[in-house]
Structure 1
């Protein structure tokens, strides 16, 4: 077995420098790094935030003007004639967005860039809402019907936008499937981290990675994932419809309780965040660009705006107009960053271990989950609630990770439909996720691989998918802009191919059925 573990470790060796280079380019060149402020921002961050600003202006800041419209769509008890409801699609996308990155990413960003990184996360999320609107709208425009399901997303709108070339759709499908599969090991690690933390709180013992507890966890994880993966999108949305609200309520309620216990220090939180956004403390390097870079990078990686990774759920919705799901998906970015990430940031900033307990800070600042849990403990001293609060957060962390796992597999399946809709091929994708990459993640944990190394695979996948999605978004932006103008007119005319100037078979057929 040692040989297997060694092989697992070696798989990750080549990934680290590639991911570092692509995410850092061109900050890894001295001539660029020497430029004030801009030298701290990689090309990926510049184009992501720049895209958000551009799309915000071109859509008339639709994330603001149609915010309440998105809420009304969500609370409307609409049933789906085909596919899933807008609310179910929102929960499915939230299952992916509201993941361990909401804790890990925020904690890591603050540990490197200081409290001000949270401010720049808000800025990136605000503009990212417009990007999410654009990609969700395109996913809706070019979605296709498959029996009683709707399929679409990046591989589908990429094919249509790039000259209706089949090979473009196949290539994007392959890239997304590989991206999703290689993200699974990191999420499996997160599930194990949660289980280990819960077990330690309950028993007072620390369990080794080769213990019976971890073996049983691995078996249950593989079995549960296989069960849901082979149930298809309806079985998975039945779970996410219930799990996402519950885990969000538990997490938000727990953090708000901590906030009440520390209500007198809330002014410190806002002072540290806004002050640190422009003048970070020396302990974080003291450079304005550091806070900005960390906040934007981790914010965009958390809410996934611009990556095209949430477009599969957007396409699955039975919306009345493509832009309806666009404004709904923009709300997903708001929930992820403005609400959940902010609450996570509240814990780390309010604890401010870097000044309150420098020794603990130095020992934990590179270990996001232990640092986050230590921050929680410092905010509930002597209250008798330390263990309960830590337990609840650990459970939420595990649920975040598990919903990401099932989300990645179902999104990969939807993308696979662009290659082939034959059942054997779809089963192959399900098997690949549930019975190959999840066990691979289990072996990674038992091999003693640290989460930081696993994150490099996710980082690499994230940057590759960004460079694939953004060019397609800009080429196809004219179709989304035309759809937006039609949406805002509210003249009662049906949405058809004539509105956007490109063939949209699903919408033409829908308009014909209504006439």
Structure 2
């Protein structure tokens, strides 16, 4: 069974997928005139602007909810695994996919805002919504919604809970079944409390855990200051095949860097678009820019933090997948994944590494599962909108809790294989959709930039811009905001 899943994962993540992901990101970078560079200052300004409403959350809350999904096991285990099979050069390709992927995140998040709608008193949106309204392909939207439901409720939670359980067992000797049971209990208390409770948890936990993780990295780098030129030289030389030791696995560096970069950042996957749609903003581009910046926060800060801890302390092994032999074997008795990070921290803080990384994974992965639930709920709401969905929602919640526990007690290889399959399907579906539907996002960006040049706080009017089926924005933001007695979909 495991071999079948691995083969399916390899098909989904074959060379055409890697090339397609990069080309889409490059295409959007060109179409937007490299907004990921031009608008960095505006992205940062928008992070803390805006307020929540009864229907939506603030830009910052939407950002933290999106980061809950982006910052997870992929930032620790995924980065370590990329180095294990792709060498230090994989880190460079993670940076590349973050840079080009920022524009993919912008497009999908802007589209989510343009085509969002109000359901049961709250904003809903995401790929299924913009596929149906923008492309008019109901069948494709339904396929995406179903695929996302399966991925978020069945395939993905196990990756996160598995890493939590293994790291807790390694650090504190707690059995995986006990960790899984506690996870289920706490998750249940939160997800049965609704979206507001999920957002409230995310907006406090995410910044604290990210800052703490990066601070430990800065200490490690500071104590190894003289190694900075050598480490970055190793990353770049390995990425382009000029390093004598890692030059022979340049293909693996590219493949693992992009795959793990996509997994960690979720750029182009469509998942970040769901919380983006929930934000209360006056113009879709505002949230699009915020979500583009979230890719930087995720990969360039948190993933890089993991990579630097590992590389500065040489706490890693690298395996040539074609031969199965070690190119580098600096640590023994440590499985590829979070064990590298734990060993790295232990070299500077003896006896502290296992506990620190276990706690980091606990918070990173836990908030990611919360984000998975919200995304799954949004797609369920799309599929059964206008109907009494209380029973379906409860079934969804129970399903996610069961798969979370199941993942905690299963082998890591199986959990990651399932996660890679789910991610591969979503990336293929969403990238095709946003590639075909980029025009409204580009129109919105030009409109935003024109209003900024005029010294205005941009507002959006889909009618004026000729964007069809963007019903929420018809006749302008102020009318959308002030609608009374709106019929619930």
Of 476, 479, 482, 1:512 maps to 479
* TM-score in terms of structure 2 length: 0.89
- Rounded to whole Å, the distance in 2 between the matches of 1:440 and 1:304 is 21
CA contact (8 A) 2:180 2:404 kept: no
- The within-5 A match list for 1:214-253 is 214-253=176-215
* Structure 2 counterpart of 1:394: 358
Of 443, 448, 452, 1:487 maps to 448
User: Which range moved further: 134-143 or 420-429?
Assistant: 420-429
* Structure 1 counterpart of 2:24: 51
- Rounded to whole Å, the distance in 2 between the matches of 1:355 and 1:294 is 15
Deviation at 1:295, TM superposition (A): 1.6
User: Which range moved further: 231-240 or 291-300?
Assistant: 291-300
Which SS does the other structure have where 1:386 is aligned? coil
Deviation at 1:292, TM superposition (A): 2.1
CA deviations over 1:169-189 (Å, ceiling 9, x no partner): 322211110111211122111
Change (3 A) 1:329 1:513: closer
* Structure 2 counterpart of 1:442: 405
Of 258, 267, 277, 1:315 maps to 277
- Rounded to whole Å, the distance in 2 between the matches of 1:223 and 1:422 is 31
Change (3 A) 1:444 1:315: closer
Alpha-carbon RMSD: 2.3
Would you say 1:350 and 2:319 are equivalent positions? no
Would you say 1:159 and 2:132 are equivalent positions? yes
Change (3 A) 1:261 1:489: same
Deviation at 1:352, TM superposition (A): 2.2
Which SS does the other structure have where 1:417 is aligned? helix
CA contact (8 A) 1:84 1:149 kept: no
Which SS does the other structure have where 1:270 is aligned? helix
- The within-5 A match list for 1:489-504 is 489-490=450-451, 491=454, 494-504=460-470
Of 343, 363, 368, 1:404 maps to 368
Change (3 A) 1:215 1:501: closer
Change (3 A) 1:502 1:302: same
* Structure 1 counterpart of 2:260: 298
Deviation at 1:266, TM superposition (A): 1.8
- Rounded to whole Å, the distance in 2 between the matches of 1:105 and 1:376 is 17
* Structure 2 counterpart of 1:461: 422
Would you say 1:374 and 2:343 are equivalent positions? yes
CA deviations over 1:457-499 (Å, ceiling 9, x no partner): 1100111111111111111111111111111101556422331
* Structure 2 counterpart of 1:271: 233
Which SS does the other structure have where 2:139 is aligned? helix
- Rounded to whole Å, the distance in 2 between the matches of 1:487 and 1:413 is 31
CA deviations over 1:232-256 (Å, ceiling 9, x no partner): 2111000000110111111111111
CA contact (8 A) 1:482 1:500 kept: no
Of 10, 14, 17, 1:20 maps to 10
Would you say 1:99 and 2:66 are equivalent positions? no
User: Which range moved further: 319-328 or 292-301?
Assistant: 292-301
- Rounded to whole Å, the distance in 1 between the matches of 2:235 and 2:97 is 15
* Structure 2 counterpart of 1:170: 142
Of 464, 472, 475, 2:436 maps to 475
Which SS does the other structure have where 2:118 is aligned? strand
Change (3 A) 1:353 1:323: same
CA contact (8 A) 1:169 1:419 kept: no
- Rounded to whole Å, the distance in 2 between the matches of 1:417 and 1:409 is 12
* Structure 2 counterpart of 1:117: 90
- Rounded to whole Å, the distance in 1 between the matches of 2:369 and 2:381 is 19
- The within-5 A match list for 1:274-293 is 274-279=236-241, 281=243, 283-284=245-246, 286-293=248-255
Deviation at 1:13, TM superposition (A): 5.7
CA contact (8 A) 1:254 1:389 kept: no
CA contact (8 A) 1:254 1:393 kept: no
CA contact (8 A) 2:342 2:353 kept: no
Change (3 A) 1:469 1:426: farther
- Rounded to whole Å, the distance in 1 between the matches of 2:473 and 2:380 is 22
Would you say 1:82 and 2:55 are equivalent positions? yes
CA contact (8 A) 1:134 1:477 kept: yes
- Rounded to whole Å, the distance in 2 between the matches of 1:409 and 1:232 is 10
Deviation at 1:423, TM superposition (A): 7.0
- Rounded to whole Å, the distance in 2 between the matches of 1:79 and 1:21 is 42
User: Which range moved further: 402-411 or 494-503?
Assistant: 494-503
* Structure 2 counterpart of 1:140: 113
Which SS does the other structure have where 2:33 is aligned? coil
Deviation at 1:154, TM superposition (A): 0.7
User: Which range moved further: 118-127 or 137-146?
Assistant: 118-127
* Structure 2 counterpart of 1:336: 298
CA deviations over 1:72-131 (Å, ceiling 9, x no partner): 111225343531111000000000101110011111111122212111211111111111
Q: Paired residues, what number?
A: 467
